[in-house]
Chains A and B, each alone.
Chain A
Amino acid sequence: MQRVLNPIEEMYENRPRRWWLYTIIVLCSALILGWSGNAIQFKGLASKGSEVAYGIFYGIINPDMTLLWNLTPEGVPYMLFETIAIAVLGTLIGGLLAVPVSFLAAENIMPKWAAFIFRAFILLIRTIPSLVWALVWIRVTGPGPFCGVVTQSICSIGMISKMYINAIEDLDTKILESLDAAGCTRFQKIRYGILPQLYANFVSTLIYRFDINIKDATTLGIVGAGGIGAALVQSINSRRWSMVGAFLVGMVILMLIIELFSTRIRNKLARG
Chain B
Amino acid sequence: MSALESQLPILQVIVPLVGAVLVALMRGGRSAWAVALVITWTMPVISILLMRKVLATGPISYHLGGWAPPIGIEYRVDLLAAFVLVLVSVVGAALMPFARRSVASEIDGDKQVWFYTMYLLCLAGLLGITITADAFNLFVFLEISSLATYVLIALGRDRRALLAAYQYLIMGTIGATFYVIGVGLLYLVTGSLNIYDIASRLADPAMQNPRPVMAALAFIVVGISLKLALFPLHVWLPGAYAHAPSFASAFLAGTATKVAIYVLIRFAFSVFGVAISFETLPLTEVLVVLSLAAMFIASIIAVFETNLKRMLAYSSLGQVGYITLGIALANTQGLTGGIVHLLNHALMKTALFMALGAIAYRLGSVKLDAIAGIGRRMPWTMAVFVLGGMALVGVPGTAGFVSKWYLAIGAVEKGWWPLVFAILISSLIAVVYVGRVVEVAWFREPSPAVEKCTDPPLSMLIPMLVLTAATIYFGIDTEASAGMALKAAETLLGGLK
Determine if chain A interacts with chain B: no
